[in-house]
Amino acid sequence: MRVQRHCVINADRDTVWKAVSDPDCYPEFMASLERWEPAADGPAGKGARYTVHWKIGSVPIGGVVEVSEFDQAHDLAWIGVSGVSLRGRFRIRDAGNGHTKVIFRLAYESAGNLLGIIADRVAARQVGRNMTETLKNLKTMVEP
Amino acid sequence: MWERGYRLARGEGWVYVCVMAGITDVLEWARQQVSSRVPKADMDQRDPDYIREQLPGLWLLASLYFRADVRGLERIPKEGPVLLVGNHSGGNLPPDTFVFTLAFCSYFGVERPFYQLAHNLVVSMPGLGSLRKFGTVAANHENARLALESGAALLVYPGGDYEVFRPSWERHKVDFGGRKGYVKLAREAGVPIVPIASVGGQEAALFLDRGQWLAKVLMVDKLARLKSVPILLAPPWGLAVSDMVPRLPLPTKIAIEVQDPIEVDADDDVVHKQVLESLQAGVDRLAAERRFPVLG
């Protein structure tokens, strides 16, 4: 299941990147975040691991994720190492006039065959709402 | 005549002794048959891949049917053995147990070893063998000790069948029936106790009576360690005696609160009282948020 949301922020790419690339900012702008903690010591960047849980439905869903791309002011992507199979990405693009377009993508797949597919579809609405809320929070956080 | 009466009385007494001996033998045979069917606890039967595949189905049931709400999982120590002690509700289909199992496995990952103690009849019942893949083992001190020594988290319901079949109008009462062996277990294993308070489970059916008197009449208290044969109203059967026949649990809203760990560094009675008070306070808090039975 792939869910995508985007928004345009009235700030330059570097300012947006500063927030998106800083692990300490995630509890502030990521909606429905139930758990966020580094899974290993080390600087933010490719290979860094975090334990992430979002409250989806009745319980926290997530697991350990690893940053798979850390492209300065451009792309930040991660993959799920444990828990639900998961890929996520922030795409940061110049929108002109000092604005930045941020695309937030999440692709996930539960185990469990048919029930897994149904669960993915049922969860998609709430996941989408959380992503919209996340971008709204990010916008509020970085806009002057 | 007096002598004839004496001989008769002696004869009847002998028959009585023979009949009683027969019943005792039959009871002993039946008890052995039941206990021999209780599978030995094998910690290796827990299967993380199987659990992972079941989680989406459980999530759908917990989120859509029981509208569950689980709070405070971050209070459980991140690693190492821990004894999770809950109040038990919902009869033989306790929604709070599987909601908490789902929450624990989602939060800490299916890789973290996690076992649950269940009544002998549950783990030996045909068709419920899959529970052992979830880490459910027969409730006894030895299995509990094995689980904690292996470094796992262990979920126990000290109230057992006494608490789980309490009348629905006592649904917000934590009652272990005086059982406090779990404190000794935690002390011997050197692990903290984390109370797990839950409400809603006892509204999955209308429990009318524990039926402890019925358990004695039917002698299942001796045959199968079953202290209760409950009487309840539940769909689709209406009035049901015992909770052995599958029924449809009402879609009651389940709320669970994980509480702060309690260290076992005082007398058993003191710790037991502390756990009960903590659970009762949690249940009262969650109950105060409910506006309607079942709907939540």
User: Is A58 within 8 Å of B59 when comparing Cβ atoms?
Assistant: yes
Domain range annotation of chain A: 2-142
DSSP string for residues in B26-46: HHHHHHHHHHHTSPPP-GGG-
- B28: confidence class by pLDDT, cuts 50, 70, 90: confident
> Which residues are CB-contacts of B95 (< 8 A; sequence separation ≥ 6)?
B62, B66, B68, B200, B201, B204, B249, B252, B254
What is the structure's pLDDT at B23? 65
Q: What is the mean pLDDT of chain A?
A: 95
The two structure tokens encoding residue A19: 């927030």
Render pLDDT for B211-236 as a digit per residue (tens, 0 to 9).
999 999 998 888 877 888 999 999 99
Render pLDDT for B47-96 as a digit per residue (tens, 0 to 9).
999 999 999 999 999 999 999 999 999 999 999 999 999 999 999 889 99
Per DSSP, the three-state class of B258 is: strand
Chain A, chain B: beta-carbon pairs less than 8 Å apart: 74
Residue A144, classified by CB atoms within 10 Å of its CB into exposed (0-12), middle (13-18) or buried (19+), is exposed
Asked if A57 contacts A121 with a C-beta cutoff of 8 angstroms, the reply is no
Q: Which of A34, A64, A116 sits opposite B56 (nearest CB)?
A: A116
Distance between CA atoms of A91 and A93, rounded to whole angstroms? Answer: 6
Residues of B in contact with A118 (CB under 8 A): 56, 60
User: Is B103 within 8 Å of A59 when comparing Cβ atoms?
Assistant: yes
Asked if B195 contacts B155 with a C-beta cutoff of 8 angstroms, the reply is no
CA distance from start to end of chain A: 35
Distance from CA of A72 to the nearest CA of B (A): 31
Residue percentage of chain B with pLDDT more than 90: 72
User: Is A119 within 8 Å of B73 when comparing Cβ atoms?
Assistant: no
Residue that wins the pLDDT comparison between B282 and B138: B282
User: Is A122 within 8 Å of B54 when comparing Cβ atoms?
Assistant: no
Task: Give the nearest chain A residue to B101 (CA atoms).
Answer: A59
Q: Which amino acid is at A70?
A: F
What is the number of alpha carbons within 13 Å of residue B34 lying toward its C-beta? 17
Distance between CA atoms of A136 and A30, rounded to whole angstroms? Answer: 10
Per DSSP, the three-state class of B59 is: helix
Residues of B in contact with A35 (CB under 8 A): 74, 107
Residue that wins the pLDDT comparison between B43 and A96: A96
DSSP string for residues in A73-123: TTEEEEEESSSSEEEEEEEEEEEETTEEEEEEEEEEE-SSHHHHHHHHHHH
Distance from CA of B64 to the nearest CA of A (A): 8
Q: Which amino acid is at A136?
A: K
Nearest to A4 by CA among A134, A115, A140, A110: A134
Residue that wins the pLDDT comparison between B182 and B119: B182
What angle do helix axes B95-108 and B48-60 make, rounded to 10 degrees?
120
Nearest to B47 by CA among B134, B129, B154: B134
User: Is A59 within 8 Å of B62 when comparing Cβ atoms?
Assistant: yes
As a whole number, mean pLDDT of residues B107-118 equals: 94
- B15: confidence class by pLDDT, cuts 50, 70, 90: low
A interface with B, Cβ–Cβ < 8 A, is 34-35, 53, 57-64, 82-83, 110-113, 115-116, 118-120, 122-123
- B44: confidence class by pLDDT, cuts 50, 70, 90: confident
Distance between CA atoms of A80 and A87, rounded to whole angstroms? Answer: 6
What is the structure's pLDDT at B291? 92
Render pLDDT for A42-78 as a digit per residue (tens, 0 to 9).
899 999 999 999 999 999 999 999 999 999 999 999 9
User: Is B59 within 8 Å of A120 when comparing Cβ atoms?
Assistant: no
Residue A44, classified by CB atoms within 10 Å of its CB into exposed (0-12), middle (13-18) or buried (19+), is middle
Residue B52 contacts A, CB cutoff 8 Å: yes
Task: Give the nearest chain A residue to B70 (CA atoms).
Answer: A59
Question: Would you state the torsion angle of the CA atoms of residues A23, A26, A28, A31, taken in this order, to the nearest 10 degrees?
Answer: -170
ipTM value > 0.90: no
Asked if A144 contacts A11 with a C-beta cutoff of 8 angstroms, the reply is yes
Distance between CA atoms of A52 and B18, rounded to whole angstroms? Answer: 69
Per DSSP, the three-state class of B85 is: strand
Nearest to B93 by CA among B66, B115, B114, B67: B66
Task: Give the nearest chain A residue to B67 (CA atoms).
Answer: A58
Q: What is the mean pLDDT of chain B?
A: 89
User: Is A35 within 8 Å of B107 when comparing Cβ atoms?
Assistant: yes
As a whole number, mean pLDDT of residues A72-91 equals: 95
Mutation site, A37, A59, A109, interface B, largest B CB count within 10 A:
A59
Distance between CA atoms of A105 and B65, rounded to whole angstroms? Answer: 29
Residue percentage of chain A with pLDDT more than 90: 92
Q: Which of A35, A58, A115 sits opposite B68 (nearest CB)?
A: A58
Mutation site, A1, A49, A58, interface B, largest B CB count within 10 A:
A58
What is the structure's pLDDT at B209? 95
State which fold the A2-142 domain adopts.
Alpha-D-Glucose-1,6-Bisphosphate; Chain A, domain 4 (3.30.530)
Residues of B in contact with A57 (CB under 8 A): 59, 62-64
Cα angle B74-B75-B78, degrees, rounded to a multiple of 5 = 70
CA distance from start to end of chain B: 75
